[in-house]
Chains A and B, each alone.
Chain A
Amino acid sequence: MTSQPRKIFAISELCTACRSCEIACAVAHSRSASLIGAILEVPLPRYRIEVQAGSTLNLPLNCRHCDEPECLFACKAGAVSKDEATGQVRVDLEKCVGCWMCVMICPYGAVIPDALIGKAAKCDLCENRAEGPACVTSCLTGALFYGTEEEFEEYRNTRPLLKQLKAHR
């Protein structure tokens, strides 16, 4: 890998579980690319980021594009690949047969079995979207960030809201 891969990072403390990212993700993965259009589509477009609520935290979670992608190892259809240049883990929907091996193996539960099309849905980093990942651009509190790990650390350390939150506690 030549440079650090760019990924989507989440700051749990800033997530209010408004689920704007889920909607933006679904719209970004719809054919019409508009909210109204997306709602009317058959099959409904599937969002690939989920705001999960734990007992102590809100976590907007999508594919981690792992360095050791277990979904790739487990895929018996050869549908999952890792881009060595960008680090992105991709699913080739032409090849996916919906065997759900990836759903069974992903330790994050970040591969979504899209029952409507019978194939695995997961974050593709909105690679064809000029503005970058829709979840990130839609987040109202800056809880999501797209960049390298280093860039994320810097971003995280400079969030005024995060400082306020810490002071508040």
Chain B
Amino acid sequence: MHHVIIGNSAAGIGAAEAIRQIDKEAPLTIISDESESAYSRALISYELAGWIGKGNLDLRPREFYQEKNIAAHLGKRAIKIDAGKKQVHLNDGSRVDYDRLLIATGGSPQQMGVPGEDKKGIFGFRNYRDLLNIYDAIITAEHGVVLGGGCIGLQAASGLHHHGVKTSIAIASAHLLSQVADAECGDIYQRLFESNGIAIKTSMKPVEFRGVGQVGSIGFDDGSEMPAQIVISGKGVKPNTELAEGTKIKVDRGIIVDDRMCTAEPDVFAAGDVAVTQDCVTCESTVNAVWPCAYEQGRTAGFNMAGRDRVYDGSMRMNAAEFFRVPLISIGVVKPQGDGYEVHSYLDKSRMVYWKMVFKGKLLVGAVLVGRVERAGVLANLMRKHIDVSSIKGELLAGRYNYALIKPLAEGAE
């Protein structure tokens, strides 16, 4: 049984570790278009911001492949799946046979669709290559603009700022973190970033990147212009679904999988930022492109590939981050739309403490925690297991939640 994994990040490694947990011997191959040994994409922002030393991004020790008896084809891109012959075609002309295949190709930054976006000095912020390019550009850049106010955008801005670049964030939405949390949370971080010397411009879209060859400024839809020798696009990612072409694999935004992470093509699985899964809080099919979900999906796929039946209990919208020492955790439905939701919140602007809880009927369905994030996992646990919280609502709202409080309920739910 030859297992082949395309992708070398959270989902791919999650699958490889699951397969090796069950089967130490079966041939296992990892293919990645990046030449680095497994590293954490999510750490490039921490490296740029000086939190960790350069090149310290290893997700697993370099000996990982050897220790786990994995054949690693790094720096090679999978370009086609021939499901009939059960082969993966690589860009160097070689072919890899598989018995079970996992597509864990992740996502790529969305194009902005703005004229001039191919100019020098404009970067995505997704992989190690982007980071190295940004280091080069920082040397000469005086002004930097980050387009996008999500976690990646904010981390990129902190990083540029750390390197002495005069940094601004320009976003199309009315507040920061609009996909991650709510307006109150966005406002807290806006004031925090501004007080640290990073300008924030809201409700404006770029219409043109100006400059000859190298970007020099950005024109916006309100007629304004911002100088920028370096631009980082913090826009979201879109799933890398190209390999599904010419196969029976169904794609709707991402690759459609069943609850064992198997695609419509037998013996072909998908996991991570490329896969559409059911959100266990909202019950909607969606791409929850976050690290913990990617690993768990990879792990589920890996078990099923290796013959141990494992059902994925669904993804969750969740984010954890910290900016200028103020932590943020956001889980589940945090901007409820429609009827039937009950929202409670608490805001202490001066201490930068904010929390919000969203209930639907007897269930907790969402939470935002800013400033104090202790025991957030207990809340996630309540949401994941659909635990009736009506008897402990008072304690939840008073912030007195811990495992002792939910233990009788959680054990009853199992």
Contact = CB atoms under 8 A, between A and B. Distances in A.
Interface string A133-154: 0000000000000000000000
Contact of A73 (B295, B318, B407): B295
B58 interface: yes
A52 B404 contact: yes
Interface in A104-151: 104-113, 115, 118
B408 A56 contact: yes
B407 A100 contact: no
Contact of A78 (B60, B292, B296, B318): B60
A33 B64 CA distance: 36
A104 B329 contact: yes
Contact of B320 (A59, A99, A107, A112): A99
Most buried by A among B52, B299, B318, B374: B374
Given A56-B408, A97-B52, A104 B374 contact: no
Contacts of B329: 100, 103-104
B43 A97 contact: yes
B404 A57 contact: yes
Interface residues of B, number: 46
Contacts of A110: 403
Interface string A35-51: 00000000000000010
Contacts of B43: 76-77, 97
A118 B321 CA distance: 12
A104 B404 contact: no
B386 to A, nearest CB: 14
A109 B327 contact: no
Interface of A: 50, 52-59, 61, 70, 73-74, 76-78, 95, 97-113, 115, 118
Interface of B: 10, 14, 40, 42-43, 46, 51-52, 56, 58-60, 291-292, 295-296, 299, 318-322, 325, 327, 329, 331, 373-378, 380-381, 384, 392, 395, 401-408, 410
3 closest Cβ contacts across the A-B interface?
A109-B375, A54-B404, A74-B292
